């Protein structure tokens, strides 16, 4: 009997215990029914409390987690949510921290429909004209507590380009509003700003730059068409434009390739200013035929023009003196029989036994060039000399002694 | 008891020494080699006493690599009046310590206060001390050796008397020596303390047998055994102190052993060959002592000093450096290449100081005076005295003024503008590099928190790029020949690896290499320093790696040095006071019991000294004669040529003109005009390396010469052959002037319209980081073609890049090679083979070489004559088969001169002759040709470059001669354009978006055909460096 009665007693206590605890559980109850608050409002969570203790309230939002101490007011347990939690939009998860009261819930903080500040980003700051390239404007209007505004808040995007001023309405979604601003056919400066609920952003700039250049023409000018090796020929392009008739940006690099009569390729280059590239080249020092074509690598090219340079030096004298070691070349005269301007290259090829020994290059001074063959270098012997200037070649065989 | 009289000589020496050195250090110390380095270390301690890791130099190093006492002392004093105040104060203390040290050392050696007085007065002006302080600025070394000299009498007393008090005092001083300089106590043991032990043993033996003569080896051995215990106790304890006091130093030496290529030092030279080293490291430190050598050896080889004699002899021999093979054999290869041998000469001269004092005493008022006067008469004695005194004074003046005549440092640079620049706008978030600052770079580092990749304490270098070559600093790389330039250019080409963004250049020499490696001039600071910057460099990361050491080591390092000083102070000075006050009785030190009687001077010594002086005089006069012959510029045609080229090298045009034949009627005004208009790599940026002339004589007064000169320029090594004629007029040789280029420009005045750019940087003055509105878009580039090729055994990425944006771009290309398994093999940037600055729509061919860390394999493969243009190709263990190319564009606003024209071309079998014409309004300093080679299908296969040696003036022509590459097929390995990125975006996306209709191979019609077995066409592009843009 003893064992049995003890057994029954224990069993009945065990069975009854959940009932007791279950009853305790229901003794705390949330009194606040509101689960949605406007951001920044004073939020108090009230609980009906049978016990007189004040457990901590655990609450957490996307910015972090905190514990709130409760106060007892008129037998109700009250928790005032701190400002740093209450002024951020989003979900707040709360929970009473007591093993006996596993009560928990959620609050929703709604954004205010007001705009205090606007974060605005735009990029890239320069795009290509022509209507395909674009820059993206991103607007993030925020309220006075730095929360994003409600979804579908209207944002006005205003832009000015040349004579047109446009306003577009866009709406915030996922906290931001954005718009792709496409370039127009013309190049120029697009000024952009935005407005949301009466608050305006500052001014932003997008530079629409000219697109890829198209075919152009070139021309030349020079003081005369003599090959005097001194004057300068200018090449000029027509105004280089893109396919939308925009003048290409200043500084665009244009290569001028020149093929001369021998098939060798010379080169000059110019940078555009207001679409026109200028380049210069010195006249050749002998009669030559040039065909010139300009390129913008991979994008555009010009027509081909031809230039004819007339020979100026008809002939020149060569004299050997001082044991044939001083060779004087000249007078070298230009087209009006004036002395050729200083600096014309005269080349002396020296051959010994048909082997090239040395090429000496000198420049004329007052129409003459003197070569002095030093005995240290050119031993006494027979030499062949080839003198070459302005495209004319003369050959001699002399003995140095 | 009679109070002890102060030694007048000692007081005079102290007053003289402090007045003389104390006032002159303010003019000398800052221009010495080492002082500013110590200043930098001191600044480190002042800022972080217990943290040994320093981020500022190299890529971080530990200050536990140098004993800290002197640095910490300066650091402590800097709290009162700044680091310079600290340095000068410590220098004054060092001077005091040195003078008193020599006095005590001499007193111990000679046991005669007057002699010791003479010695310390002479020591004040001894040329080795003057040089160490005023030329080298080796403060720790001076403090170390001075304290060691203070320790010597205490060691003597401990060994002689066995009183434990003396053991304590001598050990306390040894520990101060250790914490101030590590090498001094180690070698001091050998050269100072061992002979001292020998002397003590001699004295003990003498006491036993009565006279020095009676001391035999047996007696000596007996004394040795008698004192053995004291010697061992002293030896073991000082060993413990040497290791213990700077334990972190030894630990660090073991962890980071000095495994680097030896850096050449003048003290290892053959002094007969390199006379300047002989002067600085032999003649000056010895000075007047050279005359006294016979006396010094005579005295030191007397029985009592026998061991000092050996020590002086060894030091003297070791101090001769590479002149004789003995030092190398004695020290062994490793030690010979690490130690600077001048310190042996310093020690030899310091060891000689007591004998110098003794000589002076005996000469002025002792037995030598009597002997000389008796034999040669009083006048002769005075004349000799006058000569010796004159020589002595001359050596002091000469040593002090050495820096005046041969400045070892560039002019003093005002650091404030640089410090301000680094503090401004977060410039210290990047590393910087100085060029041409000399040791003043240490002073700059001490004043700023910004970090540099360079440094001034070469034992602490860590980057393999630095340790594998024999240069102490990148900063003065031009003086280290081409090996220096070679290592500098690796840093300049891949600066992003080191976060190196700013370069402060005090030397125009480096400008071309900076430009052609893709750097741009930012601005000139008020102090004339040019700031160069490189775009697209990431800042130094916030957290940097460091090699940390245990906390107790840090505490040990921070506390121990001053602890040793405090203990030494208490034991040696404070306690002396206490003892004196208590007892009022001071025993005569033991060493004073062994005086030398100066009554009969050895005549043979006088004789030998005379002969020796005669020999010295003959040597000196012969040396002067040789110097005269070599430097008399017009004595022989060779001399005239060398003098002429030297004068041109050093821009002494007046001197060069004086060597031009006066009969040629070339006025100096005309000559200067002709020289001053020549610009270019060779005339403005070259340093002559070697000159050789081959003379052909025609008659007595006419010769012609073939002059072969080797020039080092920042870009490449140039060999130039000139033919000169010389004539002899009135016994002097003159050069004939050369012909001029007569090129006459057509226009007197002309105009040019160009587009110029200015980048505002930050439009608003704000410290906010990178305000996004102020950031310019990176210019869009397009890599038109790129391929991996192999030519002559080395791999390269070649191709063509174009700026397809509307603004000028600075282009940085970085190539990476991979093998078939996508394993990264090498990465490098484009160096010379690209136009780094591109105008809108301009294109440039490029080549990326893959350079390894030069000579990293074996130190002996360093070529003697290194060409800066050559490089060490990286050694691939596996075959590169793929590549990745990253192009980065940044808006450029400078160096956009495009006025150069290829105005004539002639092609021969092996050469391209051509003319460059400058059509713009700026003078082109260095034109560079970029020559791309094409195969018969007009596919680009190789890119070469060529620097034209002469500049091109406005509206003038300059001819060039380019040698076409030798035959050799190029193997094209990979032409895939898949892994090419521009500003981080795929190249193909960009090109499809911006130029969908690109005309491919647009310029192929304009290629220049050539006759070559492997190449069919070339294209020439021209890049220009403008020395002074406006």
Query: Residues B297-311: what's their mean pLDDT?
Result: 88
In this prediction, residue B578 carries a pLDDT of 66
> What does residue A218 show for φ and ψ, rounded to 5 degrees?
-125, 155
Alpha carbons B894 and B515: distance in angstroms, whole number: 11
> What does residue B230 show for φ and ψ, rounded to 5 degrees?
-65, -40
Q: Cβ of A253 and B841 within 8 Å?
A: yes
**Residue B430 near residue B497 (C-beta atoms within 8 A):** no
If you measure CA to CA, which chain A residue comes closest to B757? A251
According to DSSP, the β-strands at B837-838 and B824-829 are: unpaired
In this prediction, residue B370 carries a pLDDT of 85
> DSSP letter at B841?
T
In this prediction, residue A9 carries a pLDDT of 64
Sheet bearing B702-712, strands edge to edge = B687-699, B702-712, B717-729, B732-735
The phi-psi region of residue A197 (left if phi > 0; otherwise alpha if psi is between -120 and 50; otherwise beta) is left
Residues sharing a CB contact under 8 Å with residue B840, sequence separation 6 or more, in sequence order: A248, A249, A251, A252, A253, B803, B805, B806, B807, B808
Alpha carbons A270 and A277: distance in angstroms, whole number: 5
C-alpha B936 chain-centroid distance: 51
Is pLDDT at B312 greater than 50 in this prediction? yes
pLDDT-derived band at B872 (thresholds 50, 70, 90) equals low
Interface of A with B in 328-357 (CB under 8 A): 341-343, 345
Fold of A24-110: Immunoglobulin-like (2.60.40)
At B725 the three-state DSSP class reads: strand
Query: Residues B974-997: what's their mean pLDDT?
Result: 90
Query: Residues B985-997: what's their mean pLDDT?
Result: 89
Is pLDDT at B286 greater than 80 in this prediction? yes
Alpha carbons B575 and B581: distance in angstroms, whole number: 10
Q: Cβ of B777 and A231 within 8 Å?
A: no
Cβ-nearest to A342 among B704, B742, B998: B742
Is pLDDT at A7 greater than 80 in this prediction? no
> DSSP letter at B436?
S
Query: Residues B307-335: what's their mean pLDDT?
Result: 86
At B614 the three-state DSSP class reads: helix
Query: Residues B870-888: what's their mean pLDDT?
Result: 80
Alpha carbons B788 and B979: distance in angstroms, whole number: 12
In this prediction, residue B859 carries a pLDDT of 39
> What does residue B703 show for φ and ψ, rounded to 5 degrees?
-135, 160
In this prediction, residue B862 carries a pLDDT of 44
Is pLDDT at A151 greater than 90 in this prediction? no
How does pLDDT run across A263-301, given as a tens digit for each residue?
999 999 999 999 999 999 999 988 999 999 999 999 999
Rounded to the nearest integer, the mean pLDDT of chain B is 85
In this prediction, residue B769 carries a pLDDT of 63
Cβ–Cβ contact B254 with A under 8 A:
no
Fold of A318-400: Immunoglobulin-like (2.60.40)
Candidate from A51-55, B402-406, B647-651, B769-773 with smallest mean pLDDT? B769-773
In this prediction, residue A12 carries a pLDDT of 64
Cβ-nearest to A343 among B743, B772, B841: B743
Alpha carbons B487 and B435: distance in angstroms, whole number: 13
In this prediction, residue B866 carries a pLDDT of 45
Residues sharing a CB contact under 8 Å with residue A226, sequence separation 6 or more, in sequence order: A283, A309, A310, A311, A312, A334, A335
Give the rounded percent of residues in chain B with a pLDDT score beyond 90: 30
For residue B496, give how far its alpha carbon lies from the nearest alpha carbon of chain A (Å).
25
In this prediction, residue B686 carries a pLDDT of 83
Cβ-nearest to B840 among A128, A253, A295: A253
How does pLDDT run across B692-710, given as a tens digit for each residue?
888 877 777 778 888 888 8
In this prediction, residue A3 carries a pLDDT of 66
Is pLDDT at B853 greater than 60 in this prediction? no
Interface of A with B in 124-143 (CB under 8 A): 124-126, 128, 133
Q: Is A157 exposed, middle or buried (0-12, 13-18, 19+ CB in 10 A)?
A: buried
Cβ–Cβ contact B907 with A under 8 A:
yes
Tokens of B887: 């192009």
In this prediction, residue B873 carries a pLDDT of 66
Candidate from B363-377, B895-909, B1008-1022 with smallest mean pLDDT? B363-377
Is pLDDT at A21 greater than 60 in this prediction? no
Q: Cβ of B777 and A341 within 8 Å?
A: no
Cβ–Cβ contact A18 with B under 8 A:
no
Cβ–Cβ contact A213 with B under 8 A:
yes
Alpha carbons B462 and B60: distance in angstroms, whole number: 8
In this prediction, residue B484 carries a pLDDT of 78
Cβ-nearest to B919 among A128, A262, A280: A280
In this prediction, residue B855 carries a pLDDT of 42
According to DSSP, the β-strands at A64-68 and A56-61 are: antiparallel
Is pLDDT at A247 greater than 90 in this prediction? yes
Cβ–Cβ contact B840 with A under 8 A:
yes
Is pLDDT at B651 greater than 50 in this prediction? yes
Contacts of A255 in chain B (CB under 8 A): 1003
User: Looking at domain A117-209, which CATH architecture does it have?
Assistant: Sandwich (2.60)
pLDDT-derived band at B725 (thresholds 50, 70, 90) equals confident
Single out the residue of A4, A3, A81, A87 nearest to residue A45, CA to CA.
A81
Candidate from A1-5, B88-92, B381-385, B1001-1005 with smallest mean pLDDT? A1-5
pLDDT-derived band at B176 (thresholds 50, 70, 90) equals very high
C-alpha B198 chain-centroid distance: 41
Best of B670, B901, B1009 to disrupt the A interface by mutation (most A CBs within 10 Å)?
Answer: B901
Query: Residues B511-525: what's their mean pLDDT?
Result: 91
At B84 the three-state DSSP class reads: helix
**All domains of chain B, ordered by start, with CATH?**
632-735 (3.10.450.50), 776-1025 (no CATH)
In this prediction, residue B481 carries a pLDDT of 67
CA angle, A193 then A196 then A202, to 5°? 30
pLDDT-derived band at A2 (thresholds 50, 70, 90) equals low
Alpha carbons B300 and B309: distance in angstroms, whole number: 4
Candidate from B163-167, B555-559, B1018-1022 with smallest mean pLDDT? B163-167
Q: Check residues A143 and B503 and name the one with the higher pLDDT.
A: B503
Largest CA distance in chain A: 155
Candidate from A133-137, B39-43, B274-278 with smallest mean pLDDT? B274-278
Is pLDDT at B12 greater than 60 in this prediction? yes
> DSSP letter at A264?
-
Q: CA distances (Å), B582 to each of B3, B157, B166, B568, B573, in order?
A: 15, 21, 18, 20, 14
Cβ-nearest to B995 among A252, A265, A298: A298
Query: Residues B207-226: what's their mean pLDDT?
Result: 84
Is pLDDT at B351 greater than 70 in this prediction? yes
Residues sharing a CB contact under 8 Å with residue A13, sequence separation 6 or more, in sequence order: none
Is pLDDT at A18 greater than 70 in this prediction? no
CA angle, B450 then B455 then B459, to 5°? 140
Element housing B569 (H / E): helix B551-569
Contacts of B955 in chain A (CB under 8 A): 232
Cβ-nearest to B898 among A262, A271, A281: A271
Q: Cβ of A251 and B1008 within 8 Å?
A: no
Alpha carbons A157 and A138: distance in angstroms, whole number: 10
Q: Cβ of A266 and B998 within 8 Å?
A: no
Single out the residue of B62, B58, B27 nearest to residue B41, CA to CA.
B62
How does pLDDT run across B443-474, given as a tens digit for each residue?
999 999 899 988 888 777 777 777 777 777 88
Candidate from A95-104, A351-360, B19-28, B572-581 with smallest mean pLDDT? B572-581
Q: Where are the beta strands (DSSP E) in A129-282?
A: 134-142, 154-161, 164-171, 177-182, 188-196, 199-200, 204-209, 218-221, 226-227, 232-237, 253-259, 265-273, 276-282
Class of domain A218-311 (CATH, top level): mainly beta
Candidate from A31-45, B172-186, B384-398, B767-781 with smallest mean pLDDT? B767-781
Contacts of B892 in chain A (CB under 8 A): none
Per domain, the residue ranges of chain A are 24-110, 117-209, 218-311, 318-400
> What does residue B562 show for φ and ψ, rounded to 5 degrees?
-70, -30
How does pLDDT run across B903-927, given as a tens digit for each residue?
999 898 889 999 999 999 999 999 9
Q: Is B222 exposed, middle or buried (0-12, 13-18, 19+ CB in 10 A)?
A: middle
Contacts of B746 in chain A (CB under 8 A): 230-232, 341
Cβ-nearest to B741 among A133, A273, A363: A363
Alpha carbons B923 and A159: distance in angstroms, whole number: 46
> What pTM did the predictor assign?
0.86
Give the rounded percent of residues in chain B with a pLDDT score beyond 70: 94
For residue A319, give how far its alpha carbon lies from the nearest alpha carbon of chain B (Å).
19
Is pLDDT at B261 greater than 80 in this prediction? no
**Residue B882 near residue B788 (C-beta atoms within 8 A):** yes
Contacts of B776 in chain A (CB under 8 A): 125
Cβ-nearest to B1020 among A267, A296, A343: A267
In this prediction, residue B863 carries a pLDDT of 45
In this prediction, residue B2 carries a pLDDT of 43
pLDDT-derived band at A250 (thresholds 50, 70, 90) equals very high
Give the rounded percent of residues in chain A with a pLDDT score beyond 70: 93
Cβ–Cβ contact A71 with B under 8 A:
no
Q: Judge if A24-110 and A117-209 fold alike in CATH terms.
A: yes
């Amino acid at each position: 009997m003893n064992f049995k009665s003890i057994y029954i007693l224990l069993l009945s206590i065990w069975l009854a215990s959940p009932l007791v605890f279950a009853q305790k559980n229901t003794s705390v109850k949330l009194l606040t029914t509101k689960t949605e608050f406007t951001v920044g409002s004073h939020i108090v969570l009230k609980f009906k409390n049978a016990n007189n203790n004040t457990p901590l309230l655990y609450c957490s939002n996307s910015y972090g987690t905190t514990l709130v101490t409760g106060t007892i007011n008129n037998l109700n347990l009250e928790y005032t949510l701190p400002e740093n939690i209450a002024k951020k939009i989003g979900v707040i998860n709360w929970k009473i921290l007591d093993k006996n009261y596993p009560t928990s819930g959620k609050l929703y903080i709604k954004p205010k429909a007001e705009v205090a500040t606007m974060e605005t980003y735009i990029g890239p700051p320069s795009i290509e004209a022509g209507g395909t390239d674009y820059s993206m404007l991103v607007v993030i209007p925020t309220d006075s507590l730095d929360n994003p505004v409600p979804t579908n808040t209207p944002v006005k995007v205003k832009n000015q380009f040349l004579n047109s001023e446009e306003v577009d309405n866009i709406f915030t979604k996922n906290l931001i509003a954005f718009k792709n601003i496409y370039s127009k056919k013309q190049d120029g400066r697009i000024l952009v700003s935005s407005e949301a609920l009466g608050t305006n952003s500052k001014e932003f700039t997008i530079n629409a730059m000219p697109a890829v250049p198209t075919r152009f023409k070139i021309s030349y000018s020079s003081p005369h068409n003599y090959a005097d090796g001194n004057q300068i020929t200018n090449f000029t392009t027509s105004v280089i434009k893109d396919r939308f008739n925009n003048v290409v940006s200043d500084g665009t690099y244009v290569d001028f390739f020149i093929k001369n009569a021998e098939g060798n390729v010379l080169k000059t280059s110019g940078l555009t200013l207001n679409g026109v590239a200028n380049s210069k080249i010195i006249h050749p020092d002998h009669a030559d035929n040039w065909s010139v074509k300009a390129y913008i690598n991979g994008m555009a090219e010009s027509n081909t023009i031809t230039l004819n340079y007339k020979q100026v030096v008809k002939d020149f004298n060569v004299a050997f003196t001082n044991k044939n070691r001083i060779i004087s070349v000249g007078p070298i005269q230009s087209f009006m029989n004036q002395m050729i301007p200083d600096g014309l290259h005269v080349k002396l090829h020296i051959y010994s036994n048909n082997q090239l020994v040395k090429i000496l290059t000198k420049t004329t001074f007052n129409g003459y060039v003197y070569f002095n063959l030093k005995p240290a270098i050119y031993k006494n012997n027979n030499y062949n000399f080839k003198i070459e200037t302005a495209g004319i070649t003369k050959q001699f065989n002399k003995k140095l002694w | 008891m009679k109070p002890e009289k102060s030694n007048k000589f000692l007081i005079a020496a102290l007053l003289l020494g402090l007045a003389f050195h104390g006032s002159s250090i303010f003019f000398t110390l800052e221009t010495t080699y080492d002082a500013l380095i110590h200043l930098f270390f001191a600044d480190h301690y002042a800022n972080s006493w217990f943290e040994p890791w320093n981020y500022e130099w190299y890529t971080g190093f530990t200050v536990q690599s140098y004993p800290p006492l002197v640095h910490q002392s300066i650091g402590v004093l800097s709290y009162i009046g700044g680091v310079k105040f600290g340095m000068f104060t410590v220098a004054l203390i060092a001077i005091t310590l040195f003078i008193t040290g020599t006095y005590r050392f001499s007193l111990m050696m000679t046991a005669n206060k007057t002699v010791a007085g003479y010695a310390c007065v002479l020591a004040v002006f001894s040329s080795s001390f003057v040089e160490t302080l005023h030329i080298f600025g080796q403060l720790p070394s001076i403090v170390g050796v001075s304290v060691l000299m203070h320790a010597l009498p205490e060691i003597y007393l401990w060994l002689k008397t066995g009183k434990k008090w003396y053991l304590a005092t001598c050990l306390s001083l040894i520990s101060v020596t250790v914490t101030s300089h590590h090498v001094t106590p180690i070698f001091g043991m050998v050269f100072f303390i061992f002979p001292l032990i020998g002397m003590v043993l001699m004295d003990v033996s003498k006491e036993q047998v009565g006279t020095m003569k009676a001391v035999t080896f047996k007696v000596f051995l007996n004394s040795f055994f008698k004192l053995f215990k004291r010697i061992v106790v002293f030896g073991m304890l000082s060993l413990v102190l040497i290791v213990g006091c700077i334990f972190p130093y030894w630990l660090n030496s073991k962890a980071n052993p000095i495994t680097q290529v030896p850096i050449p030092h003048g003290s290892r030279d053959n002094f007969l060959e390199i006379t300047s080293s002989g002067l600085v490291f032999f003649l000056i430190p010895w000075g007047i002592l050279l005359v006294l050598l016979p006396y010094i050896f005579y005295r030191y080889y007397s029985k009592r000093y026998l061991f000092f004699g050996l020590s002086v002899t060894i030091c003297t021999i070791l101090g001769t450096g590479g002149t004789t093979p003995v030092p190398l054999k004695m020290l062994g290869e490793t030690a010979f290449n690490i130690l600077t041998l001048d310190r042996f000469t310093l020690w030899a001269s310091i060891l000689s100081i007591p004998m110098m004092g003794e000589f002076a005493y005996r000469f002025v008022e002792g037995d030598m005076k009597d002997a000389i006067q008796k034999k040669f008469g009083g006048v002769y004695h005075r004349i000799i005295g006058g000569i010796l005194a004159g020589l002595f004074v001359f050596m002091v003046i000469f040593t002090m003024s050495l820096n005046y005549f041969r400045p070892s440092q560039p002019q003093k640079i005002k650091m404030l503008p640089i410090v301000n620049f680094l503090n401004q706008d977060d410039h210290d978030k990047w590393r910087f590099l100085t060029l041409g600052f000399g040791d003043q770079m240490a002073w700059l580092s001490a004043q700023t928190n910004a970090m540099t990749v360079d440094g001034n304490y070469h034992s602490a270098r860590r980057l393999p790029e630095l340790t594998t070559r024999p240069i102490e600093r990148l900063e003065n790389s031009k003086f280290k020949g081409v090996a220096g330039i070679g290592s500098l250019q690796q840093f300049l080409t891949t600066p992003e690896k080191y976060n190196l963004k700013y370069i402060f250049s005090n030397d125009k020499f480096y400008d071309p290499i900076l430009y052609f490696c893709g750097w741009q001039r930012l601005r000139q600071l008020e102090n004339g320093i040019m700031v160069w910057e490189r775009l697209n460099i990431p800042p130094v990361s916030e957290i940097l790696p460091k090699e940390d050491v245990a906390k107790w080591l840090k505490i040990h390092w921070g506390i121990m040095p001053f602890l040793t000083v405090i203990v030494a102070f208490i034991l040696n000075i404070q306690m002396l006071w206490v003892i004196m006050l208590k007892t009022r009785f001071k025993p005569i030190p033991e060493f004073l019991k062994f005086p030398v009687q100066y009554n009969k001077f050895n005549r043979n010594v006088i004789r030998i000294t005379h002969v020796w002086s005669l020999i010295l005089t003959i040597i000196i006069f012969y040396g002067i004669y040789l110097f005269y012959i070599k430097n008399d510029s017009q004595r022989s045609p060779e001399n005239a040529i060398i003098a002429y080229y030297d004068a041109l090298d050093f821009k002494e045009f007046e001197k060069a003109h004086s060597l031009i034949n006066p009969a040629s009627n070339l006025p100096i005004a005309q000559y200067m005009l002709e020289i001053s208009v020549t610009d270019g790599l060779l005339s403005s940026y070259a340093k002559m390396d070697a000159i050789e002339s081959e003379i052909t004589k025609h008659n007595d007064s006419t010769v012609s010469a073939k002059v072969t000169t080797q020039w080092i320029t920042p870009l490449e090594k140039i060999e130039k052959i000139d033919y000169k004629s010389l004539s002899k007029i009135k016994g002097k040789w003159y050069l004939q002037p050369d012909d001029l280029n007569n090129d006459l420009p057509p226009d007197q005045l002309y105009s040019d319209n160009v587009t110029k750019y200015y980048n505002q940087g930050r439009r608003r003055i704000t410290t906010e980081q990178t305000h996004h509105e102020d950031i310019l878009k990176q210019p869009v580039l397009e890599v038109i073609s790129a391929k991996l090729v192999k030519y002559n055994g080395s791999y390269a990425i070649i191709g063509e890049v174009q700026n397809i944006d509307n603004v000028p771009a600075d282009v940085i290309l970085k190539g990476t090679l991979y093998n078939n398994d996508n394993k990264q093999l090498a990465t490098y940037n484009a160096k010379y083979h690209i136009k780094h600055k591109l105008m809108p729509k301009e294109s440039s061919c490029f080549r990326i070489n893959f350079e390894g860390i030069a000579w990293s394999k074996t130190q002996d493969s360093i070529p003697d004559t290194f060409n800066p243009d050559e490089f060490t190709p990286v050694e691939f263990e596996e075959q590169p088969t793929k590549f990745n190319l990253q192009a980065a564009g940044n808006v450029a606003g400078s160096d956009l001169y495009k006025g150069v024209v290829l105005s004539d071309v002639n092609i021969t079998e092996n050469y391209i002759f051509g003319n460059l014409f400058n059509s713009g309004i700026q003078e082109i300093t260095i034109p560079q040709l970029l020559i791309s080679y094409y195969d018969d299908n007009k596919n680009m296969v190789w890119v070469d470059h060529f620097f034209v040696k002469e500049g091109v003036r406005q509206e003038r022509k300059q001819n060039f001669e380019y040698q076409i590459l030798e035959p050799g097929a190029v193997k094209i390995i990979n032409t895939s354009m898949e892994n090419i990125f521009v500003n981080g975006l795929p190249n193909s996306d960009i090109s499809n978006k911006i130029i969908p209709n690109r005309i491919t191979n647009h310029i192929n019609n304009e290629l220049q055909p050539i006759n070559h077995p492997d190449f069919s066409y070339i294209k020439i592009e021209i890049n220009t460096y403008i020395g002074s843009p406006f």
